[in-house]
Amino acid sequence: KAGVTQTPRYLIKTRGQQVTLSCSPISGHRSVSWYQQTPGQGLQFLFEYFSETQRNKGNFPGRFSGRQFSNSRSEMNVSTLELGDSALYLCASSSWTSGRTDTQYFGPGTRLTVL
């Protein structure tokens, strides 16, 4: 099975711009989660989508949004970029079975730099 893929791998933007990141989960996985990883804050949960619905949400401002398509692919959007948004954005997919924790498989991440 192909792993989780994320595009692009690297991105450079300037303050005020917006950006869209893409994640293709493992085939058959319906849950996609997004995380932000920075040296100072570590790995922080952004949100989780399951069957095109946002099911869980972390504590990030509304500038961070996402969506999931019927084929389970997911996109994450950040509007009005700030310098502090520079980070590695990780996507994880899982098959998710009701009532228990499933294994999350992470992609390699998208490295976003905001200048």
Q: What is the 3-state secondary structure (H, E, C) of 18-66?
A: CEEEEEECCCCCCEEEEEEEECCCEEEEEEEEECCEEEEECCCCCCEEE
Number of residues that bind other proteins (CB under 8 A): 28
Contact between 31 and other proteins by CB under 8 A: the answer reads: yes
User: Binding residue for other proteins (CB under 8 A) from 35, 66, 72, 78?
Assistant: 35
- Site for other proteins, residues 43 to 72, rule: CB under 8 A: 43-45, 48, 50, 55-56, 58
Contact between 94 and other proteins by CB under 8 A: the answer reads: yes
User: Binding residue for other proteins (CB under 8 A) from 33, 68, 72, 74?
Assistant: 33
CA 34 to chain centre: 3
Contact between 1 and other proteins by CB under 8 A: the answer reads: no
Nearest to 61 by CA among 44, 74, 49: 44
Residue with Cβ nearer other proteins (15 or 111): 111
d(CA 102, CA 28): 13
Nearest to 51 by CA among 94, 84, 7: 94
Contact residues: other proteins, CB under 8 A: 4, 31, 33, 35, 42-45, 48, 50, 55-56, 58, 90, 92, 94, 96, 99-109
